[in-house]
Amino acid sequence: MSFRAHAEMYHSSLLDGTPIEAVESYLIPKQHQIEVGISLYPFDPYSTGIALDFGYLQNITQSLSWQIIDADLFSSFQSGLTSQLAQNYSVNPTTIEHLSYIISTNLNYYFFYGKFIFFKKAIRYIRGSLLFGGGLLGTSLKNQGAGNFGTAFEVLINDTFSFKFTLRDSLAIPSFTNYVTFALETGVNF
């Protein structure tokens, strides 16, 4: 496409009354992404859950992606409260429910893009998304359906590699119990 065609395609617009005429392309990751990371479930008073996180994501457009599968397999560690209940009140710790897994599929809508300078040496791109979807949630006592919603912030190192922080709330259905998790993931795009 010629320079003239590019110039005609982009029109200046106003931002807070100031004409904006610069156009800059943004780094777009490749279409497919494999995600690997760790998740944390810290808000249970009886145990803390740490998980291995695996996922596969497909970028549909610049603003929309589908996380076809996201699987978190949790290991739980008892808190002091669980030990006190067992010692003082003879509560069997195996009867206390803890999170075992979350398997879901989610739609991501990217609501902002930006960039920053990392240690005055490299330009890194960042994007933020809102996510929502559904899946299965398992605890030590039962398996349930779940609705997911949350947000994710992704730093793109290049079009092949990224880091992502995700805050997700999985709402178990029909018990309507919230399971809020944090995830730190590495993505490889291809």
41: buried, middle or exposed (CB in 10 Å: 19+, 13-18, 0-12)? buried
pLDDT at 76 over 50: yes
Distances (CA, A) of 41 to 7, 31, 54: 50, 30, 16
Confidence (pLDDT) at 48: 75
pTM of the model: 0.76
CA-atom Rg of the chain in angstroms: 21
User: pLDDT band at 10, cuts 50/70/90?
Assistant: low
Residue 40's alpha-carbon distances to 11, 47, 60, 90, in angstroms, are: 46, 11, 28, 29
Q: What is the pLDDT of residues 89-140, one digit of tens each?
A: 666 666 667 788 999 999 999 998 888 777 877 778 889 999 999 999 988 8
4 — phi, psi (to 5°)? -60, -40
- Closest to 31 in 3D by CA, of 54, 62, 70: 62
Assess contact for 147 and 175: CB atoms under 8 A. Answer: no
Q: Is the C-alpha dihedral spanning 71, 41, 160, 113 positive or negative?
A: positive
* Ramachandran region, residue 16 (left: φ > 0; alpha: ψ -120 to 50; beta: rest): left
Distance CA 185, CA 190 (A): 16
Report the SS3 class of residue 21: coil
pLDDT score, position 3? 47
pLDDT at residue 82, as a whole number: 63
**Residue 101 structure tokens:** 């897994």
Quickly state the pLDDT bin for 50 (edges 50, 70, 90).
confident
